[in-house]
Every structure is written in C-alpha cells, then in structure tokens.
Amino acid sequence: MVCNRHTGKSPTNYCYQCFKEEITRFVIVKVDDPRHVRDALSRRIAYYLDHKLYVATDGFKNSIVIFVQTLEPRLFAQAIQIRIINLAVMVAPAKNEPINIVGAGVFGLSTALHLAERGYTNVTVFDKQPYDTTLYSYFKGCDAASADINKIIRSAYGSQTEYQELTFEAIKEWTKWNEELASGTDLPPGMSTSDRVFHNCGNLSMTDGDVLPPFELATIKTMEACGHKDTQLVTNHARHATIAKERGQAGCLDPFHRKKRGKPNIGVLDSTGGVAIADKACRLALHKARRQGARFILDPDSGAFSSFMTSASGKVTGIITKDRKAHPAVLTVMACGGWTGSLLPQLDHLCEATAGSVIIYKIPQTSQLWDRTSPESFPTWMWKMRDGAEGGLYGFPRTEDGYFKIGYRGTKYTNPRKQADGVERSVPVTRWSEGDKLKQIPAQAMKVLKDFTEEYLPELGDEGIDIALTRVCWYNDSYDNHLIIDYAPEQDGLFVATAGSGHAFKYLPIMGKWVVDIIEGVGMDRPAVKAWKWRSMGNETPFNVLMEGGESIRALQNTRLTSDADLKLRRRAKL
C-alpha cells in the first residue's frame, strides 16, 4: 500500500513507520462506530479533533482511527505507547447523564460533592454501609478507612510541593467547613453548632536521634522557598518556642514532657496541621453532597457492588448491585479504598490493600491526662515515620469521648487470598467482615506500640488505663505512594479514584474538585495530576513493595496475633 503521508488526502494511508512517527504529535483513538465521531463533536471536545479519518495499515490491521491533538499529557503518554483507546474514554459525561460512584468514603464523597457543585444532575453513590444510621462510626460496624474517629492533617511533605500546596488549599476549606458548622445555617442531622471537623493543633514529627531526619530538613527548606516561613517549628529552637507560644501551641512542642523527664526531644511541629474529626467530616460531606443533589444508596444489599454492566465491546455501562438490580451509567467511578484492588484486577502491581495496626485507650475525665491530651494542648504526631518496622508510629489528641488513638504503619500487613483468576490479592478483613473476622492486631505491631507508650506516656500505665480496643485499618497503597485518579485504560466508561496510601483523608473538602477536573480533562499538566495518572513501575525503587503473596512475612497468615492479655500496660514501680 502506498504511503500518502504527505499528499494531504483523506482518508490517508500510512505505512507503519510513518504512523509511529505521526503519533508523537497525536493521540490515536479507535473508532468502532462512525457515530462516535459525531458524538464527540457534540460533546464539547470538538477542539481535540482534526476532523479527519485515517486508515492505519500493517500493525494496525487497517483500523480506522481519529488523530486527536495532544493537549493532555495523559493522552500523550498513551500515544507514545501506541495504545489504541476508544473515543469514549476522552468524553466527559454530559451534565444530565447518569454517573455511578462506588464507595462513600473520602474519594467517593468528595467526588459526588464536586460533581454536583459543577452542575452534574444525575450522580448516584453506592455503598454497602448504612452510613445514615451508623454515622461513619467504627464502633457501629463501619470498617472503611474513612470511617474513623480522627485523621492527621499535615502540610509537611519534604520536597513534594504538589502535596504541600494541596494541603494548604484543603486547610482553607476545612476552616470554612468549621465556620459553616458554627453558623448553624445548614447542620447535618445529629450535629450542632459546637461541632468542629478540624482542630489546628499542629502535627509533630519526632525522632529518637540527635538531629532532624532528611525529610524534616527538606520540609523546612521547601516551606521557606514557597513563602511559608516559620510554619515548621523546631522543638529545641528558642525563637520557634516563642512563636509556638504566641500561636497557642506551646505545649505541642513537647506533648510527652520529654524535657521534664530529662529525655531528648528532637522534632518539628508543622503548625499548619492538626486533626480532622473523621466521622463528623464524612457526615458533613455526605450532607453537603445531598444538598447539592447527589443521590446515595447506602444499604448492605441495594448499595453493595456486585459486578459491572458491560456492552458487547467491553465498555462499562453501569453496575449491578447485590440485590441484582442494574444501574446504568455513562461513567462509573470506583472509589472503594482498600477493596478496590480485589475488584479491579488491572490494578495489580499498581496498588494493594495493606493494614495498619491501631490501639485505642479510653481516658476518663478524672485523669490528669484529660486536659493534657485535649486538642487544645496536644498535637497529632508521628514518630520515626520513615524508619521501618521499629518506627512508623502516629497518634492524636483525645476525642471528646476520651478515646486516645495510636497507630502503627512500620509494617504494612497484607491478607493475600486467591481470586477467581488464580491470582493472590490482598483483601481486607476486619472485626466487622462477613465470614472470617479479625479482632486482634499483629503481635509485632503491639510490641512497638506498647514500647513507645511505656516510654513516652507511662502515665497511662500508672493510672491503670489499659488498651480498650484494637483495630486493623485497611488502606490502599500504591507502589509510589501517589494517588490513582484516572480513566482505566482499555476499559471505556470506567474511572478510578483510589490509592490514598494513608495520606488522602486530609483532602476530603477539595479532592473531588481535582477528580472532576481529570474527568473533564482540565489542567492535566499540573504536577499532582501527572503523579496520579494510571501508570506502571519502571526501574524506580518502590516506596511500597506490592503483591508478595502468601509467602510474605507481612501476610497475616504468617503473623502471630495478640490476645486480650496483651491489652494491659506495665505499671511503673512506685518509689
């Protein structure tokens, strides 16, 4: 066949080599149906098209394709790989077309809220949890990571300015949400004007070394370069101590009274951060999304995802729920947290469900620790967060009910289970799971947690305050610790918003805005958006090692669990 690349004829016959050269400037989109062309022109993406059809020969088997001008990095990357994708992948839904969101956690809630705010009128969120009655409470049977008593908010991200600035954007919205609650103009059911969803108590990053670790030093440098001077307060810096006092955060520089005990206290207080009241924040987001017109089906049967609806060409055309009801949609957004990987096999080696280990104390109001651990005087904190199995601790001020939570992520446990396709994938198992349940945490995690508590807060043991409850909290970790927000390649009609990797909750008020931007193809050259695209690991060293399977020492089946006897703390001898 003659190559007419330079003749300007249409349709044009390209040899394979010329076709490869040409797609460095264009993205190619397979046309299964000529009506897709007209559809594209009527759906606000006509500016992508050069309005010509081409015939690609040789390796493309005479497929009819459209050349789409490369205005989006995501599409350009696909073009370089010579990936044929369907036109519908690039087409954002019309404002009145049905959109399904599976999952009512941080990603699903925020996406629903911002879709509705942007004028999409047919948005439905599905979740198996009856959140209207359980109120996102772990104590009432909720086991998603978003269903929690509290989460850390921090803008300290080393040299990763994309997350640093994203957090500053989020904190502005957290503050607005607090103001909305205080005004009482539109309160969610069961909440009052005294409720808050964010406390600016700071986030203290601690080490047991003599100097600040590289990550903390990088944060200080990056903050100053970005114009955020004196937001990162070093614990042994006299001027920073004065600044902390002026901001009402003096006690947050040494919440464990290390100096008083004659112990080292090396760390940095991110004064911009603090604690999100997770369950109340989710309830508020749910309420706001409903007020904007989003619909929620929250039920163990009618809200539980069972399978996808698909067309003959493989396009996702909706979902089927556990009650066997079909829910058609032009776009389905999977936002299922730790369960996402087991529902979407194409995420293998990109992300995996991993477990964090949590212990919770119940501090009585009569305790000397009641006032000391309140969010008015106690920060969220992290200890040796990047030091492997012997570190990775984090914690919070007490809640209004006295719950004092400490978590461990030094070892990220997995639960490999063989799936229908024969592949082992980590599947969350919790205290509230159907069938097998997990009511204890790994003994190795408990040792690190108790060793820290007995060294840093021995008053708990002295007062006879033992561990009241343990929890295994399931996250969805990507190999590089970045989020995944993108259309699923080679699966039209499917979008994924997941892989919070233990640090996404802080973006609840704004994350949906970014998700909707990506759905619509807006601002695709921003660093954060590039980091969140669908990807595969090359020669890079993974931040998280994934899919080690049942032979891994991190697999729960190879791990000894605690017993109720492990909940007691050691009492110090009285002199």
The mean pLDDT values, 10 residues at a time, for the chain of 575 residues are: 42 42 41 42 33 35 39 40 35 89 99 98 98 98 98 98 98 99 96 98 97 97 98 97 96 97 96 99 99 98 98 92 98 98 96 98 98 97 96 98 98 97 97 94 98 96 96 98 92 94 98 96 89 90 96 97 92 62
Same-domain pairing of 319 and 387? no
Same-domain pairing of 362 and 407? yes
Contact 350, 479 (CB under 8 A): yes
pLDDT value of position 357? 98
Same-domain pairing of 454 and 310? no
pLDDT value of position 37? 41
pLDDT value of position 65? 42
Same-domain pairing of 415 and 430? yes
pLDDT value of position 536? 87
- 542, 396, 534, 544: which is closest to 83 by C-alpha? 534
* CATH number, position 317: 3.50.50.60
Strand, helix or coil for residue 462: helix
pLDDT value of position 571? 74
Q: For the chain, how many structural domains are there in total?
A: 3
Please give the Cα distance from 265 to 208 (Å, whole number).
8
- 529, 510, 503: which is closest to 146 by C-alpha? 503
pLDDT value of position 284? 99
Strand, helix or coil for residue 519: helix
Residues near 428 by Cβ (< 8 Å), separated by ≥ 6? 143, 338, 339, 353, 355, 415, 474
pTM for the structure as a whole: 0.86
**pLDDT digits over 430-448, tens only?**
999 998 999 999 999 999 9
Same-domain pairing of 565 and 454? yes
Tokens of 101: 């969101």
pLDDT value of position 523? 87
Q: In the sheet that 274-276 helps form, which strands lie side by side, from edge to edge?
A: 151-153, 274-276, 198-199
Same-domain pairing of 49 and 138? no
Structural domain contains residue 82: yes
DSSP H/E element including 218: helix 214-225
Strand, helix or coil for residue 307: strand
- Compute how many other C-beta atoms are within 10 angstroms of the C-beta atom of residue 458: 16
Instruction: Tell how strand 424-426 and strand 416-418 pair up.
Output: antiparallel
Strand, helix or coil for residue 523: coil
SS3 per residue for 82-138: CCCEEHHHHCCCCCCCCEEEECCCHHHHHHHHHHHHCCCCCEEEEECCCHHHHCCCH
Q: In the sheet that 484-487 helps form, which strands lie side by side, from edge to edge?
A: 295-298, 123-127, 99-102, 331-334, 494-498, 484-487
For residue 116, the enclosing domain spans: 99-148+278-341+488-539
Please give the Cα distance from 414 to 295 (Å, whole number).
34
Measured in whole angstroms, how far is the alpha carbon of residue 460 from the centre of its chain? 32
End-to-end CA distance of the chain: 95
Same-domain pairing of 429 and 533? no
Contact 330, 98 (CB under 8 A): yes
| Among candidate residues 49, 65, 90, the one where a domain is terminated | 90
Same-domain pairing of 464 and 388? yes
